[in-house]
Amino acid sequence: MKNSSITKKIIVDTATHKGIDVVLLKFPFDNELANIARQLPDAKWSNSNRAWVTPYSVKTLHQLKNLFEPVCEIDASLLKQKVRAYISNPKNNVLDAEMLDKIEKYKQWLQSKRYSQSTIGTYTEALKVFLKFFNDKNIAEISNDDIIKFNNEYILKNKLSSSFQNQIVNAIKLFFRTVENKTITIESIHRPKPEHPLPNVLSKEEIKKILQAHTNIKHKTMLSLIYACGLRRSELLNLRAEHIDSNRGLVIIKKAKGKKDRIAPISDKIISMLREYYKAYKPSYWLFEGQNKGEQYTAESLQSVLKQALTKTKITKPVTLHWLRHSYATHLLESGTDLRYIQELLGHKSSRTTEIYTHVSKKSIQKIKSPFDDL
């Protein structure tokens, strides 16, 4: 600022506005500063941000500095913090050509082994994060000590989940075994101690409120089908009309987790709902399609449907779509369904996975009498 007697001040920050990275200019109402802001490319006032916004670019930042510096103080501390955080995050480092080539070979190997697209995406992204952390080191020089360092200085420091740490371990294990010919001791890779969280379960009353919240038959049917058949989100989105066997009262779930097919019983009540939905929307390929014919309904839109239902019912719990599946299994157990059948219905490979629902079922727990009552 050239004139020290000037007390005007603007705060410069960054944000995402309507899906676009923007620079935010915050200052008390001032005609002079507002007129200067209008000179920036595509600048406009944003009511939601209570600030002037302009598309983010290095050129814009230089222009902003040249325009405002002569007339006011520029506080860019928030902007600098975000830039420093971006630079220090290994996710944002640039991999060299050799690393990119090896990641591509790794991806091709996963594809040749017919790993699912979801697993391929998860493993390659996890591997990229790991390799970016050691961007200044030759891959052949990476050792088990480096993996411990990564766990401590990236995963633990950023409070990332043990499941993410396990994904990194799985990705590294396969990468060094297949692409790098086992140049580190794979068996010595540190895995986190397994967590054993209880599944989140809603009461039948809460489930009923959620499923009745929507008047839109499509939204109501999607949520109802997840709970009624214990489906995963992807399983619902991958359904097609021919997967509903109304004569036998079954839904056929194709290539679910682990590429396994399975069947689940479907009630007459759900079949009637599906028929009403089908007449109204007439899907052409997927059972539940987006706005365009033949376009698969997105996971984000489905999550939004649940969020809207929660808002309408005023349920403040952090409910996810998977809670409906957990609730289905728990309610089956409480109604007397054998655990082995529940395992088959959910598509669990191991009965130990299904047994976790015995820890949240109220059927037996509520019958236990506390010794406190005998005092």
**Torsion (CA) 314, 315, 320, 324 in degrees, nearest 10:** -110
Q: Is 164 helix (H, G, I), strand (E, B) or coil?
A: helix
Which pLDDT band, with edges at 50, 70 and 90, does 220 fall under? very high
Q: Is the pLDDT of residue 196 over 70?
A: no
Which pLDDT band, with edges at 50, 70 and 90, does 1 fall under? very low
**Confidence (pLDDT) at 2:** 46
Q: Is the pLDDT of residue 209 over 60?
A: yes
**Confidence (pLDDT) at 349:** 77
Rounded to the nearest integer, the mean pLDDT of the chain is 82
Distance of alpha carbon 161 from alpha carbon 110, whole angstroms: 24
What separation in angstroms does the CA of 237 have from each of 21, 226, 234, 284, 353?
31, 10, 5, 14, 24
Supply the pTM of this predicted model: 0.57
Distance of alpha carbon 364 from alpha carbon 366, whole angstroms: 6
Q: DSSP E strands: which ranges in 152-309? A: 244-245, 250-253, 262-265
Task: State mean pLDDT over 229-234.
Answer: 90
Q: Residues in the chain, how many?
A: 375
Q: How many CB atoms lie within 10 A of CB 213?
A: 21
Distance of alpha carbon 192 from alpha carbon 194, whole angstroms: 6
**Confidence (pLDDT) at 4:** 44
Catalytic residues: 232, 257, 322, 325, 348, 357
Distance of alpha carbon 190 from alpha carbon 170, whole angstroms: 11
Which pLDDT band, with edges at 50, 70 and 90, does 88 fall under? low
Encode pLDDT of 30-65 as tens digits: 888 999 999 888 888 988 888 999 988 777 887 888
Q: Is the pLDDT of residue 375 over 50?
A: no
Encode pLDDT of 237-280 as tens digits: 999 999 999 999 999 998 777 678 888 889 899 999 999 999 99
Beta-strand relationship, 73-75 and 9-17: parallel
Q: Over pLDDT 90: what percentage of the chain?
A: 25
Encode pLDDT of 318-332 as tens digits: 888 989 999 998 888
